[in-house]
Amino acid sequence: MSLYAEIARLQAAGEAAALCTIVRAHGSTPRRAGSKMLVYPDGHFSGTIGGGQMEHRVVQEALAALKDGQPRLLTYELTDPGRGDPGVCGGQLEVYVEPILPQATVVVYGAGHVGRAVVHLAKWLGMRVIAADDREGFTEAAPEADEHLTVAPAALAAALTITPQTYLVLTTRNVEVDLDALPPLLDSAAAYIGIIGSKRRWETARKQLMERGLPKEQLDRVVSPMGVEIHAETPEEIAVSIMGEIIARMRG
């Protein structure tokens, strides 16, 4: 399979990799401009840009790019290992590292009025959307979602593939649902975990979760009340507030 076919497969499957391309080669170098390599999140790779210490360094940079989502342009002199160069060929290389990340996915747990509005807006914004609820038939009211799940709160995390491009929006109906759903989610790779409700509601849930032994560092990941403060009142306005906060998180 060619690298381009593999990239298409990755995108269709919602998987990640980093494409590393030699964009400039001058002098004596192990590979020429245009040589490519794909690096996967577990560190294995396909293709080669020359092997050796230089390629090892590029793999490490590719793994970092997969974590922070940022491309980078790397420059290597291949002259003097004594000063830290990754080779002795005598040439110079520039390698462009481009993270290929899954499409951002918004998971909305709780398909009530606000949840349905969030599903609609997130889909309109071009994101992949999963609508989930523990009540049979509720997600059918959010037809725009790419996937519909009927799952108990405690089983939500196991029903999902959560990546650093996953944004979890809990538009739940009460604290009891939050207490069941949150613990498995807090240990996930999600970029965002937000819970609807008042500050007092989250303080109540947080206190009970700490009494159950959940560490403060994990609970600090939760955003609640979630959303940008725009004095929203209607479900649609609240959805704008929530998605505004998610977009801000996505853009860093």
Average pLDDT over residues 12-20: 90
E strands within the chain? 17-26, 36-39, 45-47, 72-77, 92-100, 105-109, 128-133, 147-150, 166-170, 192-195, 222-223
Give pLDDT, residue 80: 53
The closest alpha carbon to 147, from 118, 105, 102, 178, belongs to 105
Q: Do residues 168 and 192 lie in contact, with contact meaning Cβ atoms separated by under 8 Å?
A: yes
Q: How far is CA 166 from the centre of its chain?
A: 5
Instruction: Give pLDDT tens digits for 199-213.
Output: 999 999 999 999 999
Domains of the chain, with CATH numbers? 3-100 (no CATH), 105-250 (3.40.50.720)
Phi, psi of 251 (to 5 degrees): -85, 0
Residue 88: pLDDT band with limits 50, 70, 90:
low
90 has pLDDT over 80: no
Give pLDDT, residue 82: 62
Give pLDDT, residue 29: 78
Average pLDDT over residues 54-59: 90
Q: Which residues of 151-164 are buried (b: 16+ CB within 10 A; e: fewer)?
A: bebeebbeebebbb
Average pLDDT over residues 22-41: 90
Positive/negative CA dihedral, 56, 57, 60, 65? negative
Q: Which two tokens stand for residue 100?
A: 């290929």
Average pLDDT over residues 151-180: 94
Give pLDDT, residue 214: 92
Average pLDDT over residues 29-41: 90
Average pLDDT over residues 60-84: 83
164 has pLDDT over 90: no
Give pLDDT, residue 81: 61
Spatial distance between the Cα atoms of 129 and 123, rounded to a whole number of angstroms:
6
Please name the residues in contact with 16: beta carbons below 8 A apart, sequence gap of 6 or more: 10, 40, 41, 66, 99, 100, 101, 102, 163
